[in-house]
Structure 1
Amino acid sequence: MTTLSKIEGALPLPVTVDDILAARARISGAIVRTPTLVSKTLSAMLGASVYLKFENLQFTAAYKERGALNRLTLLGESARQKGVIAASAGNHAQGLAYHGARLGVPVTIVMPTTTPTVKVMQTEGHGATVVLHGEKFDDAYAHARMLEQERGLTFVHPFDEPDIIAGQGTVALEMLEDAPDIDTLVIPIGGGGLFSGMGTAARAMKPDMRLIGVQAELYPSMYDVLKGASLACDGDTLAEGIAVKEPGLLTRRFVERLADDIVLVSERSLEQAVSLLLQIEKTVVEGAGAAGLAALLEHKALFAGRTVGLVLCGGNIDTRLLANVLLRDLARSGRLARLRIILQDRPGALFAIARIFDQQGVNILELSHQRIFTNLPAKGLSLDVECETRDAAHLERLIAAIGAAGYEVSPVELA
């Protein structure tokens, strides 16, 4: 540990539970006091008592409103009139834009030119001025800091500011008031603002609270800080809301002081968690919002027998991406399958195969033949059948029946 790290480790953290209580008083009535509810089905499935905090029910569908609003309410009159600026392509942009418009504070958001049009339109729809600049977030961030100086605006960081952290901490106040039996909080970490605020509030209310951070395997930036590791941070993760390559300098102090552990979750677990929350709780959650449940799915033994609180921190997921996730989960569970069957190209061959599907009670969704681009003999053909089954066991019975009828059959597997 460097001398600077030792000094920082000895300093008191710049946000206390009193700051979080004050933040709650400021933002009360302007944000949704979202419910904290026990999930009986997930609890039975995971061997733990699982409580869910539905922050995806905020007006902009994410907890980020809390910190943004707290920061805006603390601006001086001159700063309010000139306005604020931020670099964000996600939930921070929308939370700041929405509450800026409510309070009459001009908001400018700088986004990379690669930002999906729907996110630009959503942010503009909340009354913000959007500036598109650069290919990557770092370019947008640098441009925002330049405009801050040029125009005399106030920069609002998405996570690395005390007022932002204090606002996010109000999530834990509500959770522990509504479900005081919670003994473990599982909190997604990107930049670390949510963990810092919630961890501070939770430890003040229950000093023995177990605090576990969660990051996507593709973006283990805070994990690297805490573990002294050097894992790569890159890739196309479903949890884009926590895909942060460089965690905050301030928030890492909170995480180092407060976290009992940080766990990593795979893309497959994130997909499964998003799908389960829709199927079981009938709630739409983005990848980052499902990270806590993904941790319980992937590290089940770590939470066995405990009373666990999860924050569904956001619900902003593209509908086409959500459809993709749901269909992939159906495929992995055996309820949707694509089978490749080798046939002889002769009359009645397709009928004979279709009869097996009928006998097994399997619904055929789509068929595709391949006669030309194949290494089979000229009289052979490859048939792909997309079908719908009841479960994995039903699919296995179908495959066995096709094989017993003398056909070569294999499932086309997902990555």
Structure 2
Amino acid sequence: MTDYIRKILDTRVYDVAVNTPLDPMVRLSARLGCAVLLKREDLQPIFSFKIRGAYNKISQLSPAQRAAGVICASAGNHAQGVALSAQRLGIKATIVMPVTTPPIKVDAVRYWGGNAVLFGDTFDEASAHARQLQAEHGLTFVHPYDDPDVIAGQGTIGMEILQQHPDPIEAVFVPIGGGGLAAGVASFIKFLRPETKVIGVEPVDAASMKAAIAAGERVVLDRVGLFADGVAVRQAGAENFRICRELLDSVIVADTDEMCAAIKDIFEDTRVLSEPAGALALAGLKSYVAANPQRSGALVAINSGANLNFDRLRHVAERAEVGEAREILLGVTIPEQPGSYRRFIQTIGNHNITEFNYRYADQKQANVFVGLKLGGARSEKAELIGQLETLGYKVLDISADETAKLHIRYMVGGRAPPALRDEMILRFEFPERPGALLKFLDQMGPDWNITLFHYRNHGADYGRVLVGLQVPEADRASLSARLDALGYPYEDETINPAYQMFLNG
């Protein structure tokens, strides 16, 4: 450990990296009842901590190694760190990336002066090609985590944390992919403040370090989840495992929903959109708080990066509420008969509906996909499900079902059976407030069967709703009168070509 302390103190990372702030998360601290601090590595020139280790490694190369150039394999933040570091030092950098790498990442490497070489469909193929080029051209390979100089560069984050917060720190939470950041931070903090816990956090579907520590040796995961792509590593580094096994107090895991909720927490306190791997440590911190009600000292989470693809925001926003235990997703079976919707909505009570999907299936029962807002109490979900089951509803909790959340929720429905007659399709704008749906059902009364219903909260002041009603021709004037009295804007979409093509029998 002493060797690493010396290496950390001797780094030259500040030639290119910045000493990032340790910001209090005021809103989250108030909610959790403890002091939560966020180490802002999203403020680095490449929006990630990776610049530290890459620069420390490259800056220590010999003149001959510098003249030959450096190479790495990466499709993420390490690639940018190597490219920028080499540019600042006047060294040629080759970055091998899979051909499937999004153009935005390839462009970022080229912006920093790196020679982006696209090879293979997977990271393993790109890495093997990088090693081949290294041997052929005498290049220096810059490993993203399994290198003492890289570990020491990342360890400067631990040094800064202790300088910035001299008061007691109960625990520092560090995201783990290959383990370079965790090894470096733990080396420094455990040397100066052994009483401070250093806790690693991994995605539940990419927990290679946790598995290695449990097994007493490095293991190779069969596969890893890619939501937190910055830490999607199948095997922890050898040197990283040696250090983490000795110094980490524990390794905990977080799922996709918990990471999304942490991204939202960071945004609400800083107005920064963290990448999933960047919010991983905060997700672990929140789990720690829930499991440890008695605490002393501040809790620190490292926001390791903010390189988030814009098109992921919709998914993140949708999953954050489930991750915060503020939304529940249920599959509920109700009788297929007039009035059953109203009874079900009355049973839900004052819970705000966030989603409601249904399509007529048969004459006996209907399966409803429903999302409900919760107040945040962990017992509330069980109480609600118990209440519905007591009243005879068959309930399936699908809040943690990845297939349901990613796919099935958007596929509820299909073509109406031939027996369905007199269906009208109406598109509404409901006011976004509790009771709006019940008001609609009260106005419709039990006269017409609901055959389709789709609604999703979009964060606006009104909700977009598609409704199917079984209305005989003779009743349509009466329906129009009731809708006019309701006062909700609507359009008749019965002859809409998309409906005719995909939903009409």
Band the TM-score falls in, shorter-chain normalisation: 0.7 to 0.9
Q: Which residue of 2 aligns with 1:221?
A: 208
Instruction: Report the CA distance between 1:337 and its aligned residue.
Output: 3.4
SS in 2 for 1:71: helix
Q: Which residue of 1 aligns with 2:313?
A: 322
SS in 1 for 2:282: helix
SS in 1 for 2:87: helix
Where in structure 2 are the equivalents of 1:97-246 lying within 5 Å?
97-181=83-167, 182-228=169-215, 234-246=223-235
Where in structure 2 are the equivalents of 1:242-391 lying within 5 Å?
242-304=231-293, 305-306=295-296, 307-329=298-320, 337-340=354-357, 373-375=415-417, 377-381=420-424, 389=432
Q: Which residue of 2 aligns with 1:60?
A: 46
Instruction: Report the CA distance between 1:139 and its aligned residue.
Output: 1.0
Instruction: Report the CA distance between 1:208 and its aligned residue.
Output: 1.0
Question: For the structure 1 residues 300 and 233, does the alpha-carbon distance in structure 2 shift closer, same or farther, using more than 3 Å as the test?
Answer: farther
Deviates more, 1:149-158 or 1:227-236: 227-236
8 Å Cα contact 1:336/1:388 also seen in 2: no
Give the distance between the partners of 2:255 and 2:3, measured in 1 at CA.
Answer: 32
8 Å Cα contact 2:224/2:233 also seen in 1: no
Q: Which residue of 1 aligns with 2:8?
A: 20
Instruction: Report the CA distance between 1:133 and its aligned residue.
Output: 1.2
Structure 2 unmatched ranges of 5 or more: 328-351, 361-409, 458-505
Instruction: Report the CA distance between 1:155 and its aligned residue.
Output: 0.5
8 Å Cα contact 1:371/1:381 also seen in 2: no
Question: For the structure 1 residues 410 and 131, does the alpha-carbon distance in structure 2 shift closer, same or farther, using more than 3 Å as the test?
Answer: same
Bigger RCO (CA 8 Å, 6+ sep): 1
Computed over aligned residues only, the root mean square deviation of the Cα atoms, in angstroms, reads 2.9
Structure 1 unmatched ranges of 5 or more: 1-12, 344-367
Give the distance between the partners of 1:93 and 1:372, measured in 2 at CA.
Answer: 45
Q: Which has the larger radius of gyration?
A: 2
8 Å Cα contact 2:257/2:319 also seen in 1: no
Instruction: Report the CA distance between 1:286 and its aligned residue.
Output: 0.3
Residue deviations 1:350-401 (CA, integer Å, cap 9, x gap): xxxxxxxxxxxxxxxxxx9x998224721235667686736xxx3xx33444
Residue deviations 1:49-68 (CA, integer Å, cap 9, x gap): 10001000001000000011
8 Å Cα contact 1:338/1:384 also seen in 2: no
Instruction: Report the CA distance between 1:130 and its aligned residue.
Output: 1.0
Q: Which amino acid aligns with 1:283?
A: V
8 Å Cα contact 2:26/2:269 also seen in 1: no
Deviates more, 1:294-303 or 1:65-74: 294-303
Q: Which amino acid aligns with 2:313?
A: L
Instruction: Report the CA distance between 1:274 and its aligned residue.
Output: 1.1
SS in 2 for 1:200: helix
Instruction: Report the CA distance between 1:328 and its aligned residue.
Output: 4.4
8 Å Cα contact 2:72/2:79 also seen in 1: yes
Q: Which residue of 1 aligns with 2:436?
A: 398
1:36 paired to 2:25 = no
Instruction: Report the CA distance between 1:341 and its aligned residue.
Output: 6.8
SS in 2 for 1:183: strand
Give the distance between the partners of 1:384 and 1:273, measured in 2 at CA.
Answer: 35
Give the distance between the partners of 2:235 and 2:414, measured in 1 at CA.
Answer: 50
Q: How many residues align?
A: 370
Question: For the structure 1 residues 117 and 169, does the alpha-carbon distance in structure 2 shift closer, same or farther, using more than 3 Å as the test?
Answer: same
Question: For the structure 1 residues 377 and 255, does the alpha-carbon distance in structure 2 shift closer, same or farther, using more than 3 Å as the test?
Answer: same
SS in 2 for 1:72: helix
Q: Which amino acid aligns with 2:68?
A: K
Question: For the structure 1 residues 211 and 387, does the alpha-carbon distance in structure 2 shift closer, same or farther, using more than 3 Å as the test?
Answer: farther
Q: Which residue of 2 aligns with 1:9?
A: none
Give the distance between the partners of 2:37 and 2:292, measured in 1 at CA.
Answer: 13
SS in 2 for 1:284: coil
TM-score, scaled to structure 1: 0.81
Question: For the structure 1 residues 72 and 235, does the alpha-carbon distance in structure 2 shift closer, same or farther, using more than 3 Å as the test?
Answer: closer
Give the distance between the partners of 2:429 and 2:244, measured in 1 at CA.
Answer: 47
Deviates more, 1:216-225 or 1:227-236: 227-236
Q: Which residue of 1 aligns with 2:490?
A: none
Give the distance between the partners of 1:90 and 1:51, measured in 2 at CA.
Answer: 26
SS in 2 for 1:309: strand
SS in 1 for 2:28: helix
Deviates more, 1:221-230 or 1:166-175: 221-230
Question: For the structure 1 residues 135 and 410, does the alpha-carbon distance in structure 2 shift closer, same or farther, using more than 3 Å as the test?
Answer: same
